[in-house]
Amino acid sequence: MIQHDCGHGAFFRRRRINDWTGRAISVLTLTPYDSWRQAHAVHHASSGHLERRGVGDIDTLTVREYRALSPWGRLRYRLYRHPVVLFGIGPAFVFVLQHRLPHSVTRNRNQAWFNAMATNLATALVVATVIWFIGLETFLMVQVPITLLAASIGVWLFYVQHQFEGTYWAESQNWDLHEAALNGSSHYDLPPPLRWLTANIGMHHLHHLSSRIPYYRLPRVLRDHPDLKSVGRVTLWQSFGCVRLTLWCETTRRLISFREARAQG
């Protein structure tokens, strides 16, 4: 979460300190800072835009697009959206393998490649040092489960932040940046201990409205503007129901399940 705020230039006043802190943390998060920062900026600029999907978001098809797929295409999408893949296999692939290379949307390719390789090298040195002191078996028994669990939690948080029933998607002519920020991002209202552990990232609608607000000031925004508490609010219990939401319905303008799509005919 601190690396995330550094990427937005929100954790420290100076950009250089933000960037180097983010790069240092990226060795532990297995996420090359420079290319992730640029891809994440694209996500903020295009969140909820139906014609700019595919960067920094969960792949989401409309009902019309899904029905136009071949049987094999539908099967692939259903497998992709299955919880085992989305929150188990997928996060492990992204953080352990995919992040070893810079994101394809990166503008400064040379810098992104250098940062990715430097992050990989630094991570390898840290891993090798830890293994030297505690042994390979202990490292695998302790660190691997932690890494996989952290990756799954990270993807789960990101999923709930944008994949909820009343989220916002629109075509170019109707898309609005501020409406997408406020209504396309949830207020994941977690219990206080989980809110602290996740650095208030559940107040995601506030973050998308103004990404330069550091995470430790987001609760103050809600206190000063209590009307924002109910916007896109999803409780911990309600969030488990978001898993079934897989398709954007252009007619009802909400996320629906495969079963609901079938019932529509």
Q: Write the pLDDT tens digit of every residue in 205-257.
A: 999 999 999 999 999 999 999 999 999 999 999 999 999 999 999 999 999 99
Q: Is the pLDDT of residue 137 over 80?
A: yes
Q: Is the pLDDT of residue 105 over 70?
A: no
Rounded Cα distance, 175 and 13, in Å:
32
Query: pLDDT tens-digit profile of 171-188?
Result: 989 999 999 999 999 999
Where residue 143 falls among pLDDT bands split at 50, 70, 90? very high
Q: Identify the bridge partners of residue 248 per DSSP, sorted by sequence position.
A: 62, 255
Domain of 47, in residue numbers: 2-263
Q: Which amino acid is at 81?
A: R
Supply 114's token pair.
């250098």
Rounded Cα distance, 246 and 260, in Å:
10
Q: Is the pLDDT of residue 111 over 90?
A: no
Rounded Cα distance, 253 and 15, in Å:
39
Q: Are 180 and 203 in contact (CB under 8 A)?
A: no
Whether the model clears a pTM of 0.85, i.e. scores above it, the answer is: yes
Q: How far apart are the first and last CA of the chain?
A: 42
Where residue 95 falls among pLDDT bands split at 50, 70, 90? very high
Q: Average per-residue pLDDT in the chain?
A: 94
178-181-184 Cα angle (round to 5): 125
Give the residue-averaged pLDDT of 43-69.
92
Q: Are 249 and 63 in contact (CB under 8 A)?
A: yes
Supply 108's token pair.
């400064």
Q: Which amino acid is at 224?
A: D
Domain count, the chain: 1
Residue 97 per-residue DSSP state: I
Q: Which amino acid is at 194?
A: L
- Looking at residue 102, its pLDDT comes to 82
What SS3 class is residue 231? coil
- Looking at residue 56, its pLDDT comes to 78
